[in-house]
Every structure is written in C-alpha cells, then in structure tokens.
C-alpha cells in the first residue's frame, strides 16, 4: 500500500474513532454531521483523496515532498501564514465565481508533473476553495491530488509551524 493510500486510510480510521468518544459533548451534532457528509460527497464528486492534519505533518517530517497549494487569496495567506513550502493558487469560494484565469493559474502553479503528489488547502473544512482546486486538478489529469480539509486553521490549532509572508508593497 502506497504511503499516501496509507495516510488516507489512517485519516478515515481517525474519523471513525471519533464516533466512539462523541464529537460534540454539548450537542450540536447536526452541523458536524452536515460538514462530514458534505466532505464525503465532495471527495466522491471530485475524485481526489483527503489527508488529515496529523498525517500530513508526519509525511512532511518523513521527507515527502508534495507540491502544497494554498487556495486562499494572497491577502489571507499574508494575514494567516501558510504551511511551510506552500505556493499560492487562489480560487473562488463559490464555483460560479471561478474564472478561466484562476484555473490557468492553478495549473501553472501545480506544475507539469502530473504524477507528483499535490496537496491543496484553504481555511477550514467548510471552505470550498480547496475542493474546487482539487477537482480541477483531477479533471486536468493530475494523478495524486489530496485535499487537506482542515486547512490553515487546523494546522495552527495543532501548533504546527506556519510561514509568515512579507506584507504587500
């Protein structure tokens, strides 16, 4: 089993493990359920795979060298920071607002090697930017596309390092 497939399996098992402990001790399961179902539908629809925060960090620490793409606007990357090594390929949050220029830029930033692992992320699980990017990359023939749904918010919550970008000139 390839490393990335192993990572996805671990992420699924981690999500399944939450069922034993409960995900929302004060109630509020309905919004969590909606987000989980939406993520599942997105993954099926997009044809890509997902990777969890812990698994992505472990793979990066072990020397995996994927192309990492932040799909947030550059201003957000400046304000929030980025995952180490991330490149900026902004996408619209709403599908109807995606332009041919943003898709062209995404493909340019992703590079020509369609077998290289690519990890796309945005702000948080409910953000649609990374879904759109992962789906487009898959449609354009990239073979190893992973969406990191927790995004910069989960990365920072885990206490992992971020890169602060210089301010705009």
CB atoms within 10 A of CB 156: 16
Q: Given the structure tokens 């830029």, which residue do they identify? A: 105
Measured between alpha carbons, how far is 43 from 147 in angstroms, rounded to an integer?
8
Is position 7 within any domain?
yes
Side-by-side strand order, sheet with 87-88: 49-50, 145-148, 118-121, 67-70, 87-88
Query: Is 64 a domain residue?
Result: yes
Residue 163 resides in a domain = no
CA 116, 4, 125, 154 dihedral sign is negative
Position 165 in a domain: no
Asked, for residue 101, whether it belongs to a domain, the answer is yes
Domain containing 89 — which CATH number?
Answer: 3.40.250.10
Would 29 be classed as within a structural domain?
A: yes
Separation in Å, CA 135 to CA 117, 118, 120: 14, 12, 10
* Cβ atoms within 10 Å of 40's Cβ, excluding its own: 12
Dump pLDDT digits (tens) for 4-41.
444 444 444 344 444 444 566 677 888 888 888 999 99
- Residue 143 falls within a domain, yes or no? yes
pLDDT in tens, 73-115: 999 999 999 999 999 999 999 999 999 999 999 999 999 999 9
| pTM: predicted TM-score of the whole model, two decimal places | 0.82
User: Quick check: is 65 in a domain?
Assistant: yes
Domains: count for the chain: 1
**Nearest-10 crossing angle of helices 53-61, 3-21:** 150
pLDDT of res. 113: 97
Give 60-78 pLDDT, tens digit per residue: 999 999 999 999 999 999 9
Residues of the domain holding 62 = 3-157
């Amino acid at each position: 089993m390839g490393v990335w497939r192993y990572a996805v399996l671990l992420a699924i098992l981690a999500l399944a493990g939450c069922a034993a402990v409960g995900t929302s001790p004060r109630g509020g399961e309905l919004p969590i359920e909606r987000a989980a179902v939406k993520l599942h539908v997105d993954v099926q629809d997009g044809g890509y795979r997902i990777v969890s925060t812990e698994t992505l960090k472990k793979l990066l620490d072990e020397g995996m060298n994927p192309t990492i793409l932040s799909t947030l606007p550059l201003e957000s990357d400046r304000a929030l920071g980025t995952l180490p090594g991330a490149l900026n390929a902004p996408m619209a949050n709403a599908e109807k607002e995606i332009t041919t220029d943003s898709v062209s830029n995404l493909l340019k930033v992703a590079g020509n090697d369609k077998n290289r692992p690519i990890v796309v992320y945005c702000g948080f699980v409910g953000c649609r930017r990374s879904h759109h990017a992962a789906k487009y990359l898959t449609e354009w023939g990239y073979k190893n596309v992973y969406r990191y749904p927790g995004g910069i918010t989960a990365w920072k919550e885990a206490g992992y390092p971020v890169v602060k970008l210089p301010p705009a000139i």
